[in-house]
Amino acid sequence: MRVSLNWIKKYVDLPKNLTAKQIAYDLTLRTVEVEDVIDTSLKYHDIVVGQIKEIKNHPNADKLKICMTDIGKGELVQIVCGGSNLYEGEYVVVSLPGSEVVWHGEGEPVKIKETKMRGVASYGMICGATEVYLDNFFPTKEETEIVDLKDIDCYPGQNIAELVYMNDTVFEIDNKSLTNRPDMWGHYGVARELAAIYDVPLKKIEEIKIDPKLPEYKVEIKEKEKCNRYVAIEIENVYEKESPMWMKALITNGGMRPINAIVDITNYVMLAVGQPTHAFDRTHVDGKKIIVRNAKKNEELLLLDNNTIALTEDDLVISDVNCALGLAGIRGGKKDSILPDTTGVLLEIANFTAGTIRKTGKRFDEKTDAAIRYEKNIDTKRVDLGISLTLKLFKELFPESQIVAYKDEYPIETKRIEIDVPQEFLNVRLGKVLERKTVEKVLTNLGYEVKYKDKVYHVIVPVWRSTGDVSIKDDVMGDIARLLSFESFEAKPLTISFEQAVRQNHILLERRLKEYLAYRCGFNEIYTYPWVDEKYIKASSIDTSNSISLACPPAPSLAILRNSLVPGMLKAIADNLRYYDSFRLFEMAQVFTKGNYHESSLDETLPIHTKMLTGCIVGKDPREIFLEIKGIIENMARYCQMEDITLEVKEKPSWADINAYLNILYDDNIIGSLGLVSFGTMVNAKIKRTNVACFELNVDALVPYNSRTNEFKHLPQVPLVEKDLAILVDEDVLWSDISKLLKSKVKELEFIEEYHGNQIPDGKKSITFRVKLGSGDKTMTSEEIIKEIDKILKTLNKMCGAILREE
């Protein structure tokens, strides 16, 4: 919303020497957020009134004239102009060098320089209205028309901002910060806040009452819950004309466009006191009767452009005896326009309830200024302010006008809310003991009535805040706190109670998992969206029959919510392959599947959420990265202090290679898997010229230790004997077979390498490993060592045909 400082000053005398910036700051801190402060005169700098003294023909152009112009500097200046309505003696608008204009009213502003036009020097430019932000003040018919200031009191050299009352400051207020403040949707409301902030009086809007003896205009409200008050005033001897310059300026700075004096009065009243008002041409109201009713089935509203809108039976309409004239509080139809032949109007100053307006308004993209205000829930008393101001303006702009009929239909009056606010409540919640005087002054300045009795403030909320904004004692406390400024309250430190230490094992486990992968295993953590491109879901062949989807997804291909983190990981890999050829990524996040889960209570049924952890290693050598990722999972439990997980081949994950995968088990249940990403998946995910090893693991299924559990082992008294052995075995002999055989025979067993190469016959492989031997209490003799090694080799030879290659 735009607020004009000149307008505010009509209602409150602000302290002297107060800058606009300071006002904006104080409003922001205490009431509503001011997003911008605009000096409206700036764009008119170096734009002045000029008088054309002499017109000469241009030697090189038929359409251009040379105007000798008085700009108040004594000497005349020469300006070349192509305007179609030039005449000698004409008062015009001149942009001097240094000013900025919008050429033909389009595009970015351009700086005016002294220049030559077709060979003739021109000192500035004689302007059309749209070129110098004057279209709100001087309506033009033709594009080539320049502004003719005839009939306007002005003099050469006068600054245009002064002429059109644009020496003003506009505060741009964030509408969001006004959602709960229906009283702030007009300048009078903002003035009231400023009066309270600076503790200065707010001027009253002069009350004008209508002669009760006037004939009655017929008004019937059929839906009293939707329309709490409807005032109809019939006025004659008014007609379509332009508003005075000062009014055009205020309406402009309030963010609207001046139309004609009648419409401008209604808009002015709305911008001033926040009360929407409406003027019908009185001849358009058939039967001289207003009916406020719900729309009928299949009823339509005819618009000014001859289009129609279909109405529903919920919509509230303003109707005459024949048909709907407009949608109540939202927009008018064709029949309610003010036309050149208008001689009398029927004014509507009414109260419609917020719910009604919001429900109907939802169907239209653009919200009208009236609808925005009604939606905030306006009190019925404001109609009185509307009447007073409207009648004052009609008298001023149309002195010959006459009120001929009138009706105030007022079925429901807004009641002022009354609240008891205990003094002790304020002291505790504000953390500060406030004097009774302070509390009473702050509240009174805001329009509250306050009675103090037995340590309780009994407050009567002002009617303009009684429509939902202030309803409980906390609201009153909030008003006091903000008006005194939050800054004036001393910050009080929190007390810490030492009842128990915070201990959250699973949350700590999640952190250890992430830190293990990042800091010990060299992974980079990523976050991806929960909606995944179908392309990657298909690539990973993941079954989505148990997936859930979005009703209104970011894009049609992004409707499915992930049930696995793998597809998102595939996309991240494909994206990063443009810049890196080997890397490691991981992500921890929830995935979703259909199901019935009750987080809080049985009455709330949610889908199944599972926190998953996935990671990948991207690299050239598939054997290498497979073993690397396997090592990372094998060591995870120990490093992250959780119960052990085991690896076993049980069930191939859809994305994995047929020969290189393992399932991750806890307590015999599959809780994840690891493996090489299959060729097909990589092709479909457009992952080229590399290999990927991937794991996915259910974090919720992991069980953290309550504390570190590994037990201390005594250091050996006698050193163990270390021996490296290389054996030759058939290709199909597995390391797990070998290690099973040796486990009981040695103290420690360590795999060193597997080798296929020149010296190794086809169908065979060499395996090198290290054994540690020892009895514990005495050093082994060399005979004992030889005997032990021999035993090991014999067992290996017998069970899997191993032959010693080298020792």
Partner 1 sequence: MEKKLDEILKQGLEKITNSKTVEELQSIKKELIGKKSSLNEVLKSLGQMDSEARKNIGKKATDIRNIFNEKTLEKENEIIASKSVLDKPLDITLPGKKVMNGSLHPVTQMCYDLNDAFLSLGFEVFSEDDISSEKYAFDNLNFAKDHPARQMMDTYWIKGTEDKESNERLCLRPHLTGASVRYLLKHGAPARFVYPGRVYRNENVDSGHERAFFQYEALIVDKNISFSSGMVMIKTILEKVFGREVKVRMREGFFPFTEPGYEIDMECLVCNGKGCKVCKHNGWIEVMPGGVIHPNVLKAASLDPEVWTGFYINIGLERLVMMRYGVDDIRLFHSADLRFLKQFK
Pick from 19, 84, 175, 549 the residue near partner 1 by CB under 8 A: 549
Name the one range near partner 1 by CB under 8 A: 238-246, 280-288, 568-576, 731-739: 568-576
282 or 571, CB closer to partner 1?
Answer: 571
Q: How many CB atoms lie within 10 A of CB 108?
A: 7
User: In the chain, what is the straight-line distance between the N-terminal and C-terminal CA atoms, in Å?
Assistant: 88
| Lookup: tokens for 152 | 């306007």
When asked if residue 455 is in the footprint of partner 1 (CB under 8 A), the reply is no
Q: For the CB of residue 708, give the shortest distance to partner 1 in the complex, in Å.
A: 19
Give the number of residues in contact with partner 1, rule: CB under 8 A. 88
78 or 177, CB closer to partner 1?
Answer: 177
Query: What is the Cα–Cα distance from 73 to 80, expressed in whole angstroms?
Result: 18
When asked if residue 555 is in the footprint of partner 1 (CB under 8 A), the reply is no
When asked if residue 39 is in the footprint of partner 1 (CB under 8 A), the reply is no
Q: Which of residues 115-144 bind partner 1 (CB under 8 A)?
A: none
Pick from 55, 530, 650, 754 the residue near partner 1 by CB under 8 A: 530
| Lookup: tokens for 648 | 């076993």
551 or 715, CB closer to partner 1?
Answer: 551
User: How far is it between the farthest Cα atoms of the chain?
Assistant: 132
Query: What is the Cα–Cα distance from 605 to 136, expressed in whole angstroms?
Result: 57
Pick from 87, 155, 529, 679 the residue near partner 1 by CB under 8 A: 529
When asked if residue 526 is in the footprint of partner 1 (CB under 8 A), the reply is yes
Distance of CA 389 to the CA centre of its chain: 37
When asked if residue 595 is in the footprint of partner 1 (CB under 8 A), the reply is no
Q: Please provide the DSSP assignment of 78-122 as one string.
A: EEEE--SS--TT-EEEEEPTT-EE-GGG-SS-EE---EEETTEEE
| Lookup: tokens for 464 | 């303009």
When asked if residue 397 is in the footprint of partner 1 (CB under 8 A), the reply is no
Pick from 9, 10, 14, 33 the residue near partner 1 by CB under 8 A: 33
| Lookup: tokens for 439 | 């509390």
Pick from 502, 706, 736, 783 the residue near partner 1 by CB under 8 A: 502
When asked if residue 20 is in the footprint of partner 1 (CB under 8 A), the reply is no
What's at 281, amino acid-wise? D
Query: What is the Cα–Cα distance from 442 to 448, expressed in whole angstroms?
Result: 9
Q: How many CB atoms lie within 10 A of CB 376?
A: 21
Q: For the CB of residue 481, give the shortest distance to partner 1 in the complex, in Å.
A: 5
175 or 308, CB closer to partner 1?
Answer: 175
The SS3 of residue 538 is helix
Query: Among positive and negative, which fits the CA dihedral 337, 338, 342, 348?
Result: positive
The radius of gyration computed from the CA coordinates of the chain, to the nearest angstrom, equals 42
When asked if residue 684 is in the footprint of partner 1 (CB under 8 A), the reply is no
When asked if residue 435 is in the footprint of partner 1 (CB under 8 A), the reply is no
Name the one range near partner 1 by CB under 8 A: 206-214, 244-252, 571-579, 686-694: 571-579
When asked if residue 583 is in the footprint of partner 1 (CB under 8 A), the reply is yes
When asked if residue 659 is in the footprint of partner 1 (CB under 8 A), the reply is no
Q: For the CB of residue 509, give the shortest distance to partner 1 in the complex, in Å.
A: 12
Binding mask 148-187 for partner 1 (x = CB under 8 A): ----------------------------xx-xxx------
Q: How many CB atoms lie within 10 A of CB 362?
A: 9
Q: For the CB of residue 530, give the shortest distance to partner 1 in the complex, in Å.
A: 7
| Lookup: tokens for 391 | 């009648």
- Cβ contact 279:337 at 8 Å: no
When asked if residue 520 is in the footprint of partner 1 (CB under 8 A), the reply is yes
Q: Please provide the DSSP assignment of 217-262 as one string.
A: PEEEES-TTTEEEEEEEEEES----PPPHHHHHHHHHTT-----HH
Q: For the CB of residue 199, give the shortest distance to partner 1 in the complex, in Å.
A: 18
Residue with tokens 């929407």: 276
236 or 515, CB closer to partner 1?
Answer: 515
When asked if residue 393 is in the footprint of partner 1 (CB under 8 A), the reply is no
522 or 719, CB closer to partner 1?
Answer: 522
Query: What is the Cα–Cα distance from 544 to 533, expressed in whole angstroms?
Result: 13
Name the one range near partner 1 by CB under 8 A: 270-278, 322-330, 358-366, 675-683: 358-366
Instruction: Give which of 97, 94, 84, 89 is closest to 51, Cα–Cα.
Output: 89
When asked if residue 585 is in the footprint of partner 1 (CB under 8 A), the reply is yes
- Cβ contact 39:5 at 8 Å: no
Name the one range near partner 1 by CB under 8 A: 57-65, 262-270, 516-524, 768-776: 516-524
Residue with tokens 């009916």: 291
Q: Which of residues 471-490 bind partner 1 (CB under 8 A)?
A: 472, 474-475, 477-479, 481-482, 486-487, 489-490
Binding mask 715-754 for partner 1 (x = CB under 8 A): ----------------------------------------
Query: What is the Cα–Cα distance from 793 to 742, expressed in whole angstroms?
Result: 10
| Lookup: tokens for 768 | 């090198």
- Cβ contact 509:702 at 8 Å: yes
Pick from 155, 246, 364, 580 the residue near partner 1 by CB under 8 A: 580
When asked if residue 363 is in the footprint of partner 1 (CB under 8 A), the reply is no
